[in-house]
Structure 1
Amino acid sequence: MVKQSSEWAVMQKKRWPLLLLLLFSLSTAFVFLLRSAFDSCSTGAVSGSRNFVGEETYPSNGVLYTPSLKPNPLEFMRSKLVLLVSHELSLSGGPLLLMELAFLLRGVGTEVVWISNQKPAEPDEVIYSLEHKMLNHGVQVFSARGQEAVNTALKADLVVLNTAVAGKWLDAVLKENVPRVLPKVLWWIHEMRGHYFKLEYVKHLPLVAGAMIDSHTTAEYWKNRTQDRLGIKMPKTYVVHLGNSKEMMEVAENIVARRILREHVRESLGVRSEDLLFAIINSVSRGKGQDLFLRSFCESLQIIQERKIKVPTMHAVVVGSDMNAQTKYEMELRKFVAEKKIQERVHFVNKTLAVAPYLASIDVLVQNSQARGECFGRITIEAMAFQLPVLGTAAGGTTEIVVNGSTGLLHPAGKEGVTPLASNIVKLATDVEKRSEMGRKGYERVKERFLEDHMSQRIALVLKEVLEKAKSRSVS
C-alpha cells in the first residue's frame, strides 16, 4: 500500500502544537484555501515570463493595476448591495476566491448576497460548512432560483458572475430581465479549458460592464478564442493578479509557527527533519499533472543513484487526493508508485482547506499544471510566501508569477517536461543555497505584488470603473 495521511486527523494525536500555534498566529482557521484546489482553471499556452514593474495598461483591452497601498481601498463599497453568483459552492478555486471577495466587501460594510447556481439535491457537508462560514461573516445566502434572486439582481448596485459557467444563470433565472441586469455585471473569469467556450454560457459577455481575469495569458486566450471560435467580442477586460490573505501571511512569517507545523506534519508523514520534500498541492486530476510529476520524481531518483550523488532522502508529497472517490486516475498514480517500488518515498494526502501546514513542512513546491497551465495559481504565491522555491510549468499564469532562475525553475508542459523537471529536482536537491536564495527572492516578490492589500487595491479600481459605467448606463 502507498503510504497515506489523512490531513489533520493524524495531526490531532498531539494537540499541544496547535494550541501553541494559536498563541503565535491571529487566525489560522481560515488559512485560505487550497485554491487551486483546485481548479480555478487548468490551462494556457506556453508563454514567456513577463516583468510587470510599473506596467499599467494591458495591450489588448484590459488593465493591470499596480497599486499604491492605501488603507481600506474598498471603503467606497460601504452600503452598496452586491450580488455574487457562483456556478457552484465547493473547495475549487473559483468559489473560494469569490468567497474571499465576499469577506473583503463585508469588511467595509457592503451588503453581500451569495447565490450558487448548481447545488446537489442531497445534503452536502462541504456546502453546509462553507455556507455557514459566509453566514458567520454576514453574507446572505439565497436560493439561485425564484423571485428573491430576481429582485436582488434588479436592486443590486453590482452583480459579479463567477466563472464562465455562471452565465447559464442569466437566462435560466432572470429571463426577460437579463437586459436590465447586464449593464451592472462584472464577469470574473478563471477558466481556460476549451469546453468552457460555449455560446450558451457566454453569449451575453459582450454586453456586460466588464470582465475581470486573473492573468494576462488567460485574458489574451479569452480575447482570441471568443472572437475566433464564437464570433463575439470581449467587453473591457481587467487583468487582476491575486494576493495572499493576511491569515496566510501571518503563518508564513511566523518562524515559531512554521517550525511547529513542519515538525508535526513530517512526523505524521513518517519523514525525518533532514529529509527533502517535493510537494504538488492541487486537486488530483490529469490536468494538474500529478502523474508526470511522479514520473519526474522517479527519474530524479534514478539520476541520483546512477551518478552516486549524495543528497538527503527525498520524498514526493501529493496533497489534494480524494481517498473516498478512488478515481481511475488516482488508482493509476498508486499503481505507478507500487510498480516503481517507491511506496516509502511517496505520500498521498487528502485535499484540505488547511494548506499552510504542508507549505511549512516541505522544501520545494511543484506546480505541474498541464496544457495551458494555471490561469494564475494561488498555491504558487502561497508557497513563495513560505520562502519555497517553485518548479513550475512554463505555461499560463505561472509565467507571470515565477521568475525563471530567480524564484524557481520552469519546465515545459507535457511529456517533454518530465526529464527537465527531473533535472530541476536534482538541481535543487543538491544545492541548499540555491533553494534558500530562490525562496528568499520569491518571498520578496510576494511582498512587492502578491498580498491581499495589492489585490484589494486592484479590485477596487475595477469596481469603481464598473460602478460608474453601470450608473451612466442607467441614467442614459
Structure 2
Amino acid sequence: MSESNNRGDLQVNVVRQSSLRPSGTLKSTLSGRSTPRGSPSFRRLHSSRTPRREARTNLSHFQWIRGNRLVFWLILITLWAYLGFFFQSKWAHNDNKEGFVGYQSKSGFGISDADQDQHSNTDKSVNVSLASNASSEIKSTANLKKFVEVSLAKKPNRVSSRRRKSKRSTIERSRAKQKPVVQQQSSDLEEEIPRRNTSYGLIVGPFGKTEDSILGWSAEKRSGTCDRKGEFSRIVWSRSFVLILHELSMTGSPLSMMELATELLSCGATVSVVVLSKKGGLMGELSRRGIKVLKDKAELSYKTAMKADLVIAGSAVCASWIEQYLSHFTAGSSQIVWWIMENRREYFDRSKHMLNRVKMLVFLSDSQSKQWLAWCEEEHVQLSSQPMMVPLSVNDELAFVAGIPCSLNTPSFSVEKMLEKRRLLRNAVREEMGLAANHMLVISLSSINPGKGQLLLLESALLTVEQIISLENNTSNGLIEKKIMSGITVGQGHSTMDGRKHSRSLFQRVKRHGRSADRFHRTNGSDVTPDELKRKKLKLADVLHSSKYRNNVTHSDDNKIRKMLPNNEERPEQTLTVLIGSIGSKSNKVLYIKGILRFLSQHSALSKLVLWTPATTRVASLYAAADVYVINAQGLGETFGRVTIEAMAFGLPVLGTDAGGTKEIVEHNVTGLLHPVGRQGIQVLSQNLQFLLKNPSEREKMGMRGRSKIEDKFLKIHMYKRFAKVLIKCMKIK
C-alpha cells in the first residue's frame, strides 16, 4: 500500500511539472511505458508542441537582438537619426502646407502681399473697423458682467466668495488685455500717411498676382535651395544658430537675415530667430518659410543662445541685446558674430562699448569697413579680431525671374524661357501702370526718409522736364517758325494767294508736329530717335527758307516737304515717369513724406509723372517694368545697396551718389552714372536723366554690363563662400 501511494504521489508530481513545461516530451519514469496516444493526457500534453517549436525558431533572431542590448540600441539610434533627418529635410524645404504650430504670425504683426493687393482700404475704414471691434468687445464684456451678477444674485448660497472674486478678476484681466491693443493700433494709425490716391496721386502695385499668372511659378512654392556640395553646407549641417533681427521692416538688413535663416534651414541647420521690434511686415513671410521666431526676446532668447553653436546679430541696433545676454552668460562673447549693416555715426556711438566683446565684426563693403575702423581708432576701441567683409547678394528667386542661371532652373523653367516670360511680365506690368513704349520708367525702391533722398530726386526730375520743354520750344519750334514766316513775308509780291494758303497749311502741320513731340502722353512706338526728328525739323526749315519756296512752290518741293513731315507711325521723344516706393514701410519718416507731397502739389506738371507703390517683397515685376534705377543715398552714402545689385541683375543702368558702397558697385560711364551727394547733385542727376532719356541704346549697354558684373560677383553662391570663411574662424570645425 505504501509503495502504491508513493507511486501515485510521484505520478501526480510528474503531471504537475509537465503542465508547467508543456513543450518537452514526457515519458513515464517508472514503468518505461509511454502514455497512450489516445488518452486525454497525451493530447493535452502534446497538442501545442510543434507550433511552439516553430514559433521559437521564427523569433530566434529577434530574441538574439533583444538579448544583445548594444545592437538593439544602435538600431534604435539609427532609426531615430533617420527619422530626424527626414522630417528636418521636409521642414527645411517647406513641404508642410499647414505650417508649424506655435510659429504662425498673428494678424497684427505683419502685412502679407495678399493684403497689400487691396491697398484701396483707407484710414477711415480702418478706424471704423477698430471702433466697431472695440465697441463689440466692450459690449461683450458688459454682457458677461451682467450675466455673472444675475447668476450670483439668484444663487448666493451656492457660489463662494472666492469664485466670485476669480470671475471678477478674469473680467478685469480681459479688459486690461483688450484696451492696450486698441490704443496701440490707433497710435500706429496716427503716425501713418493714408494709403489713398488723393494723398499720393496714383498708387500702382503690388503685382504679385500678375507675376504668378505670367511666370507660372511662385516663390512660395520653394524657399531655399542649399548647395549640398558647398563648404557652407558642410559646416552648418546639424548645427544650431540664433539670429538676431532688430526689426521686421522690408529693408535690406531684415530681408538679408531672413534669407540667411532660410539658407541655414535648407542646409540642415537648426535656426531660432529673436526679433527685437515686431514693427514691419515680415512676420508672415517668416512663418511661411518655417523659421522659428522666439516669443520672448529676454530670458528665453538667452537660454536658447547659450545652447547654440553660433549667434549672428544683423544690425548695430542689436547692441542692447548683446549687452544683456553677456551679463547673463559672460562666456557667450566667443560665439557672437556681429554683421553690421549701417554706416552712420549714430549707430557707431550706440554700439561702440560692445564692439570689442564679440568674436568678430562683419561688414558689407570696403568703405564701411574703413569708416568703422577709423571711428574705432578715434574712440580707442580695440577689436578682438580682424573684421571680415561679406557683401550681400541677389537671391535665387530674383535671379530666377531675371533670367540668370541659378539653382531654381529646371527643364520646364530654363534660362531662355524665363527671359521670354520676363519680357511678357514687363509688358503686362507697364500696361497696368498706363505706360507706353516711349516712357522711360525711373524707379527708386527704399524706405522714404531724408537719408534716401527722394525729394532731391524729384527736384532733379522737375528740372529735367522743364529743360526738355524749354529746349524744344526755344530751338526746334522757334527756329522753324522763324524761317517759315520769313519765307512767307519775303516774297516781294511774287507769291499768289493759293501759295500763301498752301504754305499756311504746311506751317500749321509743322506746328502740330512740334507740339506733339513735346507732350508727355501715350503714343504708338517706332524706331525714329529724337536726334533724327531734330535733323528733320532743321532740314525742313532750310527747304522752306530757300529761294525756290519764297517765289513759287513747285510739285517737287511739295513732295520733299511732305516726306520730311512726320507721319502717324513715327514716335515722339522719350518721356519721363518716376516711381517711388515704399508706401507703408515702418522705416518711413512721416514729416518727410508730407514735405514731398507738398512739393508735388506745388508742381502739378511733375505730379502727373510720379507713381507710388506699396512696400512689398514681390519686387521682380517692378524691376522688370523699369528702365533706370536711382539710388540717391545721402550723407556717407549707402552702406552697400542691396537694391542696387538687384536692379543691375535685371539689366538696369544705375544712377547713384558718388559715396559709400554705391561707388564700389557702380562704375561711372560703364554700368551707370554717379553724381555728388546733397543739393549740388541735383543738377548733375538731372543731366544724367536727360542723357539716358535721349540715348536708349546707352541705357541698354550699361544695363548689360551691370548684369554681367552681378553674374561674376554678387550671386548667392559668392556670398555664402565668403560667409563660410567667417564660420570657419568663429566655430569649432572638426
TM category, shorter: 0.7 to 0.9
Instruction: Give yes or no for contact 1:214–1:375 (8 Å, CA) kept in 2.
Output: yes
Instruction: Give yes or no for contact 2:673–2:688 (8 Å, CA) kept in 1.
Output: yes
Equivalent residue for 1:297?
Answer: 461
Aligned with 1:197: secondary structure?
helix
C-alpha separation in 1, matches of 2:271 and 2:449: 33
Equivalent residue for 1:57?
Answer: none
Equivalent residue for 1:89?
Answer: 248
C-alpha separation in 2, matches of 1:28 and 1:129: 12
* 2:452 paired with 1:452: no
Q: 5+ unaligned residues in a row in structure 2: which ranges?
A: 1-197, 404-417, 477-529, 531-572
> Residue type of the partner of 1:250?
F
Deviations 1:46-67 (A, max 9, x none): xxxxxxxxxxxxxxxxxxxxxx
Equivalent residue for 1:322?
Answer: 584
C-alpha separation in 2, matches of 1:144 and 1:404: 47
> Residue type of the partner of 2:334?
P
C-alpha separation in 2, matches of 1:288 and 1:376: 13
C-alpha spacing 1:131/1:103, structure 2 compared with 1 (3 Å): closer
Aligned with 1:318: secondary structure?
strand
Instruction: Give yes or no for contact 2:210–2:429 (8 Å, CA) kept in 1.
Output: no
C-alpha separation in 2, matches of 1:369 and 1:275: 25
Instruction: Give yes or no for contact 2:575–2:693 (8 Å, CA) kept in 1.
Output: no
Counting matched residue pairs gives 418
Instruction: Give yes or no for contact 1:223–1:233 (8 Å, CA) kept in 2.
Output: no
Instruction: Give yes or no for contact 2:275–2:297 (8 Å, CA) kept in 1.
Output: no
C-alpha spacing 1:329/1:208, structure 2 compared with 1 (3 Å): same
* 2:387 paired with 1:232: no
> Residue type of the partner of 2:362?
M
Shift of the alpha carbon at 1:272? 1.4
> Residue type of the partner of 1:369?
A
Equivalent residue for 1:27?
Answer: 219
Equivalent residue for 1:40?
Answer: none
C-alpha separation in 1, matches of 2:222 and 2:464: 36
C-alpha separation in 1, matches of 2:370 and 2:316: 15
Determine what percentage of the aligned residue pairs are the same residue. Answer: 30
* 2:720 paired with 1:462: no
Equivalent residue for 2:607?
Answer: 343
C-alpha separation in 2, matches of 1:328 and 1:97: 28
Shift of the alpha carbon at 1:380? 0.6
Equivalent residue for 1:196?
Answer: 347
Shift of the alpha carbon at 1:27? 3.2
Q: TM-score, normalised by structure 2?
A: 0.54
Equivalent residue for 2:239?
Answer: 80
Equivalent residue for 2:625?
Answer: 361
* 2:426 paired with 1:277: no
C-alpha spacing 1:214/1:332, structure 2 compared with 1 (3 Å): same
C-alpha separation in 2, matches of 1:87 and 1:285: 18
Aligned with 1:186: secondary structure?
strand
Q: Which of 362, 370, 387 lines up with 1:212 in the alignment?
A: 362
> Residue type of the partner of 1:243?
S
C-alpha spacing 1:183/1:174, structure 2 compared with 1 (3 Å): closer
Instruction: Give yes or no for contact 1:214–1:240 (8 Å, CA) kept in 2.
Output: yes
C-alpha spacing 1:215/1:70, structure 2 compared with 1 (3 Å): farther
Equivalent residue for 2:398?
Answer: 248
Instruction: Give yes or no for contact 1:243–1:450 (8 Å, CA) kept in 2.
Output: yes
Aligned with 2:393: secondary structure?
coil
> Residue type of the partner of 1:19?
S
Shift of the alpha carbon at 1:86? 1.7
Instruction: Give yes or no for contact 2:585–2:615 (8 Å, CA) kept in 1.
Output: no
> Residue type of the partner of 1:370?
Q
C-alpha separation in 2, matches of 1:91 and 1:265: 22
Aligned with 2:219: secondary structure?
coil
C-alpha separation in 2, matches of 1:128 and 1:29: 18
Aligned with 2:238: secondary structure?
coil
C-alpha spacing 1:31/1:440, structure 2 compared with 1 (3 Å): farther
C-alpha spacing 1:214/1:17, structure 2 compared with 1 (3 Å): closer
> Residue type of the partner of 2:655?
L
Shift of the alpha carbon at 1:458? 0.9
Shift of the alpha carbon at 1:142? 1.2
Instruction: Give yes or no for contact 1:321–1:348 (8 Å, CA) kept in 2.
Output: yes
Shift of the alpha carbon at 1:118? 2.8
Deviations 1:231-258 (A, max 9, x none): 3123421111111111101101122332
Equivalent residue for 1:53?
Answer: none
C-alpha separation in 1, matches of 2:633 and 2:222: 25
Shift of the alpha carbon at 1:72? 5.6
> Residue type of the partner of 2:381?
I
Shift of the alpha carbon at 1:456? 1.0
Shift of the alpha carbon at 1:130? 3.3
Equivalent residue for 1:117?
Answer: 276
Deviations 1:54-111 (A, max 9, x none): xxxxxxxxxxxxxxx9746332210111111122222222111111111111111011
Instruction: Give yes or no for contact 2:302–2:328 (8 Å, CA) kept in 1.
Output: no
- Kindly name which structure, 1 or 2, has the bigger radius of gyration based on alpha carbons: 2
Aligned with 2:339: secondary structure?
strand
Q: Where does 1:431-442 land on structure 2 (aligned, <5 Å)?
A: 431-442=695-706
Shift of the alpha carbon at 1:435? 0.5
Equivalent residue for 2:302?
Answer: 150
C-alpha separation in 2, matches of 1:440 and 1:323: 31
> Residue type of the partner of 1:180?
A
> Residue type of the partner of 1:78?
W
C-alpha spacing 1:464/1:336, structure 2 compared with 1 (3 Å): same
Aligned with 2:607: secondary structure?
coil
Q: Where does 1:364-403 land on structure 2 (aligned, <5 Å)?
A: 364-403=628-667
C-alpha spacing 1:31/1:80, structure 2 compared with 1 (3 Å): closer
* 2:293 paired with 1:141: yes
Aligned with 1:354: secondary structure?
coil
> Residue type of the partner of 2:272?
V
C-alpha separation in 2, matches of 1:151 and 1:313: 59
Instruction: Give yes or no for contact 2:242–2:311 (8 Å, CA) kept in 1.
Output: yes
Higher relative contact order (CA 8 A, sep 6+): 1
C-alpha spacing 1:374/1:196, structure 2 compared with 1 (3 Å): same
Q: Which of 310, 315, 335 lines up with 1:184 in the alignment?
A: 335
> Residue type of the partner of 1:385?
A
C-alpha separation in 1, matches of 2:229 and 2:697: 36
C-alpha separation in 1, matches of 2:594 and 2:433: 20
Instruction: Give yes or no for contact 2:366–2:389 (8 Å, CA) kept in 1.
Output: yes
Equivalent residue for 1:222?
Answer: 372
The answer to which structure has the higher helix fraction is 2
Shift of the alpha carbon at 1:333? 1.2
Equivalent residue for 2:672?
Answer: 408
Shift of the alpha carbon at 1:391? 0.4
C-alpha separation in 2, matches of 1:270 and 1:72: 48
Q: TM-score, normalised by structure 1?
A: 0.82
Equivalent residue for 2:18?
Answer: none
Aligned with 1:272: secondary structure?
coil
